Amino acid sequence: MTYTAPLADMRFALREVAGLDKIAALPGYEHATEDTIDAVLEEAGKLAGNGLAPLNREGDKIGAKLENGVVRTAPGFTGIYREFVDGGWNSLPFDPAFGGQGMPWLLAVAVQEMWQAANMGFGLVLLLNQGAIDAIHHHGSDAQKKTYLHKMISGEWTGTMNLTEPQAGSDLGQLKSRAVKDGDHYLVSGQKIFITYGEHDLAENIVHLVLARTPDAPAGVRGISLFIVPKFLPDADGKPGKRNDLRCVSLEHKLGIHASPTCVMSFGDDGGAVGYLVGEEGRGLSYMFTMMNNARLSVGVQGLAIAERAYQQAAAFARSRVQSKDDNRPDPAPVSIVHHADVRRMLMSMRAQIEAMRALGYYTAAGIDGALKTEDKAAGRKIQDRVDLLIPIVKAWFTDLGNEIASTGVQIHGGMGFIEETGAAQHLRDARILPIYEGTNGIQARDLVGRKITKDGGETMLALVAEMRALADEMRQAPGDDLAAIRTGVMASADALEDATKWVAQAAKTGLSDALAGSVPFLRLAGTALGGWLLARSALVAQGKLAIRDGDPAFLEAKLVTARFYTEVILPPALAQLGPLKAAGRTVFALREDQF
């Protein structure tokens, strides 16, 4: 089963939900015209469907291989990567001063959805490089930017993120890698694990961003610094020169994403890998968070992407698989399973949640552009606060749903879904890593409650609640039963999210553990409610376009039906999380450790 980019849905979410016209009007985005954006989406869709998607199955079956210290990527990967570089696809959202195209992040996120849906194993090299570019652009010296950014933005070189060590997973304060000053550079030594594309044959150089401690650094996170440690040291002309003292020791054997090499990296086995300090000593973790936040949005988009891929495959299978009679007809002849009620329920659940994710993901990406380009600094800061609030929701809610939707895809296939040849199982296996990496989803929920809500007592979230209520008021005079039902759901969502936010903000003041015990239900409630709000906005736009006959009636009617299904079927169980999030603290810690 291949992949076809859902361009009509993507355009609708870009324009009618995320406000692409307003983003394109921001200073610096004048070249992001409607024609240009449409052309980019069309070409990206072709490359994803015709170039990347056909390599996905073989990439899973064959995977990456480590041979004599060299990682060989799956068949076809080197050729398609060269096509990416030659086509300028890596450079889309980056600074033109360093060879970027300066297009909105909103467009880049939409294109990224296509890469990840078509071939997640390949898409990971693009994702990590993007984050590394962002970190160097924000925190690197002028000399570092000059040396690395042009090559990384073009894709000639790729970047990685080296955080995790065998004894230090999410608790980065336990890092032991060392960096000793040696003239104008440092000598870095230590081992890092789970390094995505830490070694590969796609690009001529790999730029590792490595967290390590200097000898006199204090314990904990305040003692961590960030270093650029390239595979090959750039020579005087900026070309790859001497091989640095680092190597891939082994590749992990994983449940999924087999095409993506997950490396154990060893630095400094022969005296020390040459590394260059980014910014100041002791501020490495704050610098790395620039990269991690970029990656968290991208991982959320991976959840959306794998859900879309699983949905497309499940829908195609449901239309072709013939089993049992149609319950609505007397004819005993068997029909395709898409006629059966439970299969329809599953497909509608997949579709509705995917559209809600896409709406919220693109809305968040538009916020990144607004924060970057809005000339009023105070207004830009408010937009950034909203983005910061939404990032953990996008990462966690999307990736949880990516798993659930990929699992539903297997269910629709029935027994055939459990057989590798159909490809449905690969989507589920690939999806399973997403709630784990870039901070587990429990850590995202902790961040949402322990940092984002407590930072301002929930005011940023309550401002979103106010916008939900404003939309409900706007819908009051709109005609039709569909919009009336959807409006009721928006009001219920606003009430539940306000109640939950105020409770969490208050609980965090008196006993953080109680608030944290309910943090995952809170995040789930928030994501589902905010997704429903944006689907309601989509439905209102669709109704307006239908009234004036602007657009494809079948497409617009589907927007109304999907939003109503989401409101009446998806929302109620999520809003019921209000009880568990308040109650969890009473029993989560009630048993002794030895009772588990």
310-349 residue pLDDT tens = 999 999 999 999 999 999 899 999 999 999 999 999 999 9
Q: What integer pLDDT is reported at residue 339 of this predicted model? A: 97
At 9, list the tokens. 């849905």
pTM over 0.85: yes
Average pLDDT over the chain reads 96
**pLDDT for 168:** 80
Q: Give tens-digit pLDDT for 554-581.
A: 999 999 999 999 999 999 999 999 999 9
Average pLDDT over residues 356-375: 97
User: Quick check: 169 pLDDT over 90?
Assistant: no
CA distance linking residue 411 with residue 275, whole number of Å: 49
| Residue 290 confidence (pLDDT) above 90 | no
| Burial class for 384, CB neighbours closer than 10 Å (0-12, 13-18, 19+) | middle
Residue 440: Cβ-neighbour burial (10 angstroms; 0-12, 13-18, 19+)? middle
> Average pLDDT in the 104-122 region?
98
Instruction: Please state, in angstroms and as integers, the Cα–Cα distance from residue 539 to each residue in 355, 380, 534, following that order.
Output: 11, 29, 9
Reported confidence tier of residue 288, pLDDT bands at 50, 70, 90? confident
pLDDT tens by residue, 393-409: 999 999 999 999 999 99
Average pLDDT over residues 406-420: 97
Helix (H), strand (E) at residue 466? helix 459-475
Q: Count the Cβ atoms, other than its own, within 10 Å of residue 479.
A: 9
pLDDT score, position 581: 95
Task: State how far the Cα of 317 lies from the Cα of 208, in Å rounded to an integer.
Answer: 42
In this prediction, residues 435-450 reach a mean pLDDT of: 96
- And the tokens for 113? 């959805």
Q: Is 429 helix (H, G, I), strand (E, B) or coil?
A: helix
Residue of 16, 308, 438, 498 with catalytic role: 438
Q: How far apart are CA 542 and CA 373, in angstroms?
A: 29
Mean pLDDT of 469-477: 95
| Alpha-carbon gap, residue 525 to 268, rounded angstroms | 47
Query: In the predicted model, is pLDDT for residue 170 greater than 80?
Result: no
**Is residue 31 within 8 Å of residue 39, measured between CB atoms?**
no
Q: What is the pLDDT of residue 453?
A: 97
Domain spans, the chain: 453-590
Please check the confidence at residue 215 and state whether its pLDDT lies above 90: yes
Q: Which two tokens stand for residue 229?
A: 């440690």
Q: Is 438 a catalytic site residue? A: yes
Identify the bridge partners of residue 232 per DSSP, sorted by sequence position: 243
Assigned token pair, 63? 């995977």
Cβ(56)–Cβ(98) under 8 Å? Answer: no
At 291, the pLDDT band (50, 70, 90 cuts) reads confident
